[in-house]
């Protein structure tokens, strides 16, 4: 078992990066073939990063569970730290040195956010998949026996990781947006700027709360949490529908999907003892 864990410490980060990069490449190629190149926006790139990191992390953490047992969160963080330079090397191999330098110089916040998502995915997946039993109780099982069953169904795990990653990404994006408003607006902000900023701050609080729910901090309050999040989403959806036009409709769909994911996640977590 120790030999498998030692091998996984180096092999899993490599597998994580390879799966993430391959899935991202396939998605971009499908978009190019479909001709919907207008969809290649910064926001879509962020969503794609979250989706591929989510899928890759789930596969790798579950693979570690099957081969070497449950993956502790600290060990997953170490693996993420190992994966970051591998991500950089993969970026250099696919983009080239000149394009990579240009990317970091022209869009540093976006680059940092993408790498932050890549770093957070493995520990978050490991945290959500972690068993409630202490490691000593797990290691006390007789040699040759199968590892204990996963603590949650795969559907609930995927929902928790999805909500957690989306919440972290939107939380960080909201903070960045507020910083940009303050940087460019300064003391000359209009009433509309203040309304947008306060609405963004409210969204940041909600996304942070949803992340804490996803990792199990507010497990006792999930029934109330899902109602509160749905209620808070209503005025945001109404404003987007009234003021946003066609893009507002897409925003309403996105809000609805997020609330549906959060609602389903809460119900799945409530079903656990």
**9, 132: one domain:** yes
Which band of pLDDT confidence, cut at 50, 70 and 90, is reported for residue 136? very low
**28, 119: one domain:** yes
Q: CA 45 to CA 67: how far, in whole Å?
A: 33
**11, 75: one domain:** yes
**27, 137: one domain:** yes
Contact between 108 and 153 (Cβ < 8 Å): no
Q: CA 146 to CA 142: how far, in whole Å?
A: 9
**167, 248: one domain:** yes
Q: Output the pLDDT for position 214.
A: 84
Domain stop point among 101, 127, 151: 151
* 204-242 confidence digits (pLDDT tens): 898 888 888 887 777 788 888 888 898 988 888 888 888
Which band of pLDDT confidence, cut at 50, 70 and 90, is reported for residue 99? confident
Helix axes 2-34, 42-68, angle to 10 degrees: 150
Give the chain's domain count: 2
Q: Report the 10 Å Cβ neighbour count for 99.
A: 12
Phi, psi of 132 (to 5 degrees): -75, -15
**122, 160: one domain:** no
Q: Terminal CA-to-CA distance of the chain, rounded, Å?
A: 29
Q: CA 198 to CA 24: how far, in whole Å?
A: 34
Would you mind telling me the total number of residues written for the chain in this entry? 273
**138, 13: one domain:** yes
Picking from 22-36, 88-102, 164-178, which range would have the lowest pLDDT averaged per residue? 22-36
Q: Report the 10 Å Cβ neighbour count for 155.
A: 11
H-type helices in 35-72, by residue range? 42-68
Q: Which of 160, 166, 77, 55 is nearest to 123 (CA)?
A: 77
- Written as six digits, the tokens of 17 are 């990066």
Boundaries of domain holding 97: 2-151
- Written as six digits, the tokens of 116 are 């932050």
Q: Output the pLDDT for position 272.
A: 55
**39, 119: one domain:** yes
């Amino acid at each position: 078992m120790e030999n498998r864990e030692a091998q996984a410490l180096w092999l899993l980060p490599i597998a994580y990066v390879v799966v993430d990069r391959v899935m991202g490449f396939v998605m971009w190629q499908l978009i190019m073939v479909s001709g919907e190149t207008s969809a290649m926006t910064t926001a879509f790139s962020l969503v794609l990063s979250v989706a591929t990191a989510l899928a890759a992390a789930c596969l790798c953490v579950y693979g570690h569970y099957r081969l070497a047992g449950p993956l502790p969160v600290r060990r997953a963080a170490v693996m993420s730290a190992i994966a970051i330079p591998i991500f950089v090397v993969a970026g250099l191999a696919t983009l080239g040195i000149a394009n990579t330098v240009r990317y970091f110089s022209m869009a540093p916040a976006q680059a940092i956010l993408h790498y932050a998502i890549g770093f957070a995915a493995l520990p978050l997946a490991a945290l959500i998949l972690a068993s409630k039993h202490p490691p000593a109780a797990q290691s006390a099982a007789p040699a040759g026996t199968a590892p204990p069953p996963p603590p949650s169904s795969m559907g609930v795990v995927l929902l928790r990781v999805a909500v957690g990653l989306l919440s972290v990404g939107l939380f960080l994006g909201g903070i960045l947006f507020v910083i940009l408003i303050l940087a460019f607006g300064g003391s000359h902000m209009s009433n509309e700027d203040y309304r947008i900023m306060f609405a963004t701050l409210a969204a940041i609080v909600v996304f942070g709360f949803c992340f804490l729910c996803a990792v199990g901090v507010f497990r006792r309050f999930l029934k109330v949490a899902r109602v509160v999040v749905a209620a808070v989403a209503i005025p945001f959806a109404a404003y987007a529908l009234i003021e946003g036009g066609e893009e507002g409709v897409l925003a309403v769909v996105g809000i609805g999907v997020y609330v549906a994911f959060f609602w389903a996640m809460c119900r799945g977590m409530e079903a656990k003892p």
